[in-house]
Amino acid sequence: MAVVHRRCAGLDVHRDKIAACIRIRVKGKYEEHHEVFGSFTDDLKKLSHWLRDRKVRHVAMESTGVYWIPVWNVLEKHRRFDLLLVNPAQVRALNGHKTDRIDCARIAEFLQHGRLAGSFIPPAEIREARAVERRRVTLQQDCNRVTNRIGRLLQTANIKLSSVLSNIVGVSGERMLRSIAAGESNGAKLADLVHYSLEGKKDSIVRSLEGRYSPHFRYLLNELLSDLDHLDQKLENVNAQLAKYMAPHGDLVLRLCTIPGIDKVVAWTIISEIGSDVSAFPDAKHLASWAALCPGNNESAGKRKSGRTNKGNKYLRRALVQAAWAAGRSKNTFLSALFSRILRRHGMKKAAVAVAHRMLTYIYYVIRDGGSYVEKGGDYFDRLHPERTASRLLARLDALDYYTSAIIRKVHQPEPPGELKPGRGRPCKCADRGVPCPHPPRLFRTSPSPRVLSKANPAKPVPEGQLCRKCNDWGVPCIHLKPRK
């Protein structure tokens, strides 16, 4: 096996200790030097000096929880080290052959022969922005939990506010909840606090506010509202801090927001997770695989078993799928057309993931090329193959018993009025067999002007012996009834 690095090191990282192995190729033979270090900062500095004294440049370690981060922080300061963080699945040991000494030696061996693929580690400033952005996600989830607790508390008091308002902590809902917590229980007075857009729901709101207002209920409601205010304040502080990190990337944020479904918060999430440089990914497919937004591969003996997505960056995946739902509801956009196209065949969830995949592809090129998103239009698929679109729409009109002229039927050449044209289908073999043909000809008639069946323009009455109204309206022998033998 070819040797990529003559001198390299592998680290088996744990919470309290790090097992290190230096592997050297000398005159066709391999030498290994083993050492065990602690996980305190001074121990990690000793590890750095130990590697540097032995002229090691390439170091690989497995991503064990968060315990690899202190090691990375210390070794990253020395620019002489080329660090590689690998997935533990790539260096998994066989059962019965696993020790810390064997693990670090195996990592060093795989690195020496170039058998390891490193994980994407962004620069330090992007990692800081990523930590702040993930903190924002955690706070937003906490806000959602408190909101759900408020909804459950209202149900226990026979208050059905969630049946009338889509957001019980919105502008109108928050006003009424704070008034209830202050001691108000009159439904009519509480309904007067709603926004003017809910004037038509006042009667329903008054009915929903008829409940059991006890001191215990008001105490718990006050506690939950206080928690919600505290979380909202912390969320504002985190957003302000994240805005400072995103200030140097203002132009990129604006260009990302040109993609339907992506707003400022989603753009911040994208930059925090990917960064402003996508050179670590050879193409958009690698980026989609890293974010787990592409189908997985599970095939054996020529049979494809499952195509469900694998695990990836859940923060980026969550943000893009949410943006895909918003893009699917946008008006006259390519992404909404793509969402509807996949929805008909595979359902809403798969359509959302597919649109998120396409959005991530656009994001890759927007970041790499420095351009902006160019909208293709909601009729892109109709313009892609206009003859297919015309045939499909005409088939739907025929299914509704609508009649169209040859001018509208651009897929056919216009014929003189009243002339019959052979229809599509396999011709019969009666002539080859030398028997009289009992099959009626498959014909259709072209009309010079469109005709629509309606109450004002009813269909012709069916004469005696002609059982098919459609063929009678076309003026041809019935082609739907099978001849009796």
30 with 140, same domain?
A: no
Same domain, 450 and 480: yes
- Does pLDDT of 357 surpass 60? yes
Residues 170 and 214 in one domain: yes
- Decide which of 79, 97, 119 is a domain's last residue: 119
CB atoms under 10 Å from CB of 466, counted, come to 14
**How far lies 240's CA from each of 223, 236, 245, 268, 294, in Å?**
26, 6, 9, 12, 33
Residue 291 lies in a domain: yes
Domain of residue 167 covers 127-245
387 assigned to some structural domain: no
Neighbours of 313 (CB within 10 A): 18
pLDDT (0 to 100) of residue 80: 82
Parallel, antiparallel or unpaired: strands 7-13 and 17-26: antiparallel
Looking at the domain assignment, is residue 324 inside a domain? yes
Say if residue 241 is in the same domain as residue 263: no
Q: What is the pLDDT of residue 407?
A: 46
Strand partners, 118: 86
Query: Residue 175's beta-bridge partner residues?
Result: none
Give the count of domains, the chain.
4
pLDDT tens-digit profile of 9-67?
999 999 999 999 999 998 888 999 999 999 999 999 999 999 999 999 999 998 888 99
The yes-or-no verdict on residue 96 having pLDDT over 80 is no
| pLDDT above 50 for 360 | yes
The pLDDT value recorded for residue 403 is: 59
The pair of structure tokens assigned to 457 is: 């323009």
205 with 115, same domain: the answer is: no
- Read off the pLDDT of each residue in 405-430 and give the average, rounded to a whole number: 52
Helix (H, G, I), strand (E, B) or coil at 26: strand
Same domain (yes/no): 104, 144? no
Does 261 lie in the same domain as 171? no
- What pLDDT is stored for residue 419 in this prediction? 47
Strand order in the sheet with 17-26: 29-38, 17-26, 7-13, 58-62, 82-86
pLDDT over threshold 70, residue 187: yes
Instruction: Kindly indicate the confidence band of residue 85, based on its pLDDT and cuts at 50, 70 and 90.
Output: very high
Residue 423 and residue 372 in contact, taking contact as beta carbons nearer than 8 Å: no
C-alpha distance across the termini of the chain, in Å: 77
pLDDT tops 70 at residue 411 = no
Question: Which uninterrupted H or E stretch holds 428?
Answer: none
pLDDT at 303: 83
**Res 32: pLDDT:** 92
The yes-or-no verdict on residue 436 having pLDDT over 90 is no
Give yes or no: residues 54 and 83 share one domain.
yes
- Last residue of a domain, which of 245, 273, 300? 245
Q: Which of 187, 214, 245 is the last residue of a domain?
A: 245
pLDDT at 273 over 80: yes
* Span 446-453, average pLDDT: 40
Structural domain contains residue 391:
no
Specify the CATH number for the domain of residue 28.
3.30.420.10
Burial pattern 159-169, b for ≥16 Cβ within 10 A else e, equals bbbbebbeebb
Task: Examine the domain organization and report whether 236 and 137 are in the same domain.
Answer: yes
Whether residue 316 has pLDDT greater than 90: yes
DSSP state of 403: B
Q: Is 228 in the same domain as 261?
A: no
Residue 79 falls within a domain, yes or no? yes
Predicted pLDDT of residue 200: 87
Residues with Cβ within 8 Å of 34's Cβ and at least 6 positions away in sequence, in order, are 19, 20, 21, 101, 104, 105
pLDDT band at 466 (very low <50, low <70, confident <90, very high): low
Mean pLDDT of 6-11: 93
* Claim to verify: residue 231 and residue 137 sit in the same structural domain: yes
Q: Between 19 and 482, where is the model more confident?
A: 19
Residue 384 lies in a domain: no
Is the pLDDT assigned to residue 418 strictly greater than 60? no
Whether 137 is covered by a domain: the verdict is yes
Give the lowest-confidence range in 117-131, 155-169, 230-244, 440-454. Answer: 440-454
Asked whether the beta carbons of 379 and 363 are under 8 A apart, the reply is no
Q: Which residues, 6+ apart, have CB-to-CB distance to 484 below 8 Å? A: none
Whether residue 168 sits in one domain with residue 58: no
Residue 382 in any domain: the answer is: no
Tell me the whole-structure pTM to 2 decimals.
0.77
The residue-averaged pLDDT of 227-240 equals 96
Please give the residue that has the higher pLDDT: either 147 or 468: 147
Got the DSSP string for 217-286? Answer: HHHHHHHHHHHHHHHHHHHHHHHHHHHHHHGGGHHHHHHHTTSTT--HHHHHHHHHHH-S--TTSSSHHH
State the chain's mean pLDDT as an integer.
Answer: 85
